[in-house]
């Protein structure tokens, strides 16, 4: 696509209207190792849904929004989002990782929340144009990337408890360092639940995250970082809210099958594929809390780790269940290190991508 008037403040690019800021707020000296999700780039992508259709998309300066106090998102929580990352290689080329999966998933989440789907062409046009404008904001140091947050909210006014008639789809970007800076310690849920059968657990609905804050605060107060959520009987291990979870018993990699309670993680499915391609035995099956307690006691639980876009691959060093703390013995060559290396080498264009996951911007 060509800019028609590159020297002007406002340009029209096909249907996409672009208004650039006059002076970037980028401070290159502090670009790397920024606290995850705490600062945002100069521009955002925005598109509104009105009168039954998506309106002209725009890229404009990042600044506070004007919203009706009665907007449905504030009252009924109609909000969905995605998490993606842009990586820059040593030739300055920008890469995404399996963005088609995020595009499909935000629409699946939107459908579950009775929101309109966002068109694929607009998603990619908006995302790629925004990334090209913000290319200098993409950190290059190891463990750093540009975290991308596409999201959609019900922006229509009115507090009748029904889906909104207006929506706003946006993409914002945040130069970010690691989400977890060390191995994490988790509590296995015994009382609170994240999701239920027939609920919204598989969707990336904002409320799924907000609802975890209170129980997670309690876990943090006890010295843990996260909760591993269990099924409604608190018998089977499901996911950690910010990450899917994996267990290595002897040399077998085990993870719970996705379900209507568990997010279909893109990093999760990539790790399963990497493990299989590396000749590691993988079992995607239900896993009981008692099974890992037994395995830690008899020394067969070799590793536990989480996976996610933000978390990448994060080792879990301890878990707690029924007020007992279990330490996972450290093995020399960890699967988590292997998977993280293979995955990030693909993401940062440091290795061949035999899976076809890398996407050139
Ligand atoms: C992601 O991994 O991108 C997520 O959306 C998780 C979020 C808690 C940061």
> b/e for 187-211, b at 16 or more Cβ within 10 A?
bbbeebbbbeeeebbbbbbbebeeb
> Whole-angstrom Cα distance, residue 266 to residue 83?
10
157: tokens are 């006014």
224 and 318 housed in the same domain: yes
> Whole-angstrom Cα distance, residue 148 to residue 86?
7
Domain around 196: 184-343
Per residue in 73-125, pLDDT (tens digit) is 999 999 999 999 999 999 999 999 999 999 999 999 999 999 999 999 999 99
334: tokens are 């960890």
Question: Atom 9 of ligand 1 has which residue's CA nearest to it?
Answer: 310
Per residue in 130-142, pLDDT (tens digit) is 999 999 999 998 8
Question: Domain of 203: which CATH number?
Answer: 3.20.10.10
Asked whether residue 361 is domain-assigned, the answer is: no
Total domain count, the chain: 2
127 and 238 housed in the same domain: no
Q: What pTM, to 2 d.p., does this model score?
A: 0.94
15 C-alpha to ligand 1 centroid (Å): 30
Per residue in 150-195, pLDDT (tens digit) is 999 999 999 999 999 999 999 999 999 999 999 999 999 999 999 9
136 and 221 housed in the same domain: no
Question: Atom 4 of ligand 1 has which residue's CA nearest to it?
Answer: 83
pLDDT score recorded for residue 4: 37
Question: Domain of 113: which CATH number?
Answer: 3.30.470.10
354 C-alpha to ligand 1 centroid (Å): 26
Asked whether residue 40 is domain-assigned, the answer is: yes
**What φ, ψ does residue 217 adopt, rounded to 5°?**
-60, -40
Instruction: Give CA 208 to chain center in angstroms.
Output: 13
320 C-alpha to ligand 1 centroid (Å): 23
Helix (H) or strand (E) holding 269: helix 266-277
Ligand 1 atom closest to the CA of 309, numbered from 1: 2
Asked whether residue 348 is domain-assigned, the answer is: no
């Amino acid at each position: 696509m060509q800019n028609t008037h590159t020297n002007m403040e406002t340009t029209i690019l096909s249907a996409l209207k672009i208004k650039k800021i006059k002076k970037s707020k980028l401070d290159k000296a502090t670009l790397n190792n920024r606290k995850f999700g705490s600062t945002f780039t100069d521009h955002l992508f925005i598109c509104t849904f009105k009168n039954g259709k998506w309106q002209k998309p725009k890229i404009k300066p990042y600044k506070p929004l004007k919203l009706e106090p009665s907007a449905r998102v504030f009252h009924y929580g109609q909000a969905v989002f995605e998490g993606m990352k842009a990586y820059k290689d040593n030739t300055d080329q920008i890469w995404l990782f399996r963005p088609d999966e995020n595009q499909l998933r935000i629409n699946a989440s939107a459908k579950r929340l009775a929101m309109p789907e966002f068109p694929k062409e607009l998603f990619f046009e908006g995302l790629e144009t925004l990334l090209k404008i913000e290319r200098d904001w993409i950190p290059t140091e190891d463990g750093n990337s540009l975290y991308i947050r596409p999201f959609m909210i019900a922006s229509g006014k009115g507090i009748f408890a029904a889906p909104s008639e207006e929506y706003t789809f946006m993409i914002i970007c945040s130069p970010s360092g690691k989400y977890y800076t060390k191995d994490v310690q988790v509590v296995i849920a015994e009382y609170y639940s994240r999701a239920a059968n027939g609920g919204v657990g598989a969707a990336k609905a904002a409320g799924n995250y907000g609802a975890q804050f209170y129980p997670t605060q309690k876990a943090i107060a006890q010295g843990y970082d996260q909760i591993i959520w269990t099924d409604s009987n608190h018998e089977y291990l499901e996911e950690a809210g910010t990450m899917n979870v994996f267990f290595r018993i002897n040399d077998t990699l085990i993870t719970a099958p996705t379900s209507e309670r568990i997010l279909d993680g893109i990093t999760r499915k990539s790790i399963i594929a990497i493990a299989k391609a590396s000749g590691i035995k993988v079992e995607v099956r239900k896993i009981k809390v008692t099974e890992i307690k037994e395995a830690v006691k008899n020394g067969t639980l070799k590793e536990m780790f989480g996976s996610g876009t933000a978390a990448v691959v994060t080792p879990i060093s301890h878990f707690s269940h029924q007020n007992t703390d279990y330490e996972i013995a450290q093995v020399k060559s960890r699967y988590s290190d292997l998977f993280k290396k293979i995955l990030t080498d693909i993401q940062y264009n440091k290795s061949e991508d035999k899976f076809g996951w890398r996407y050139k911007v």
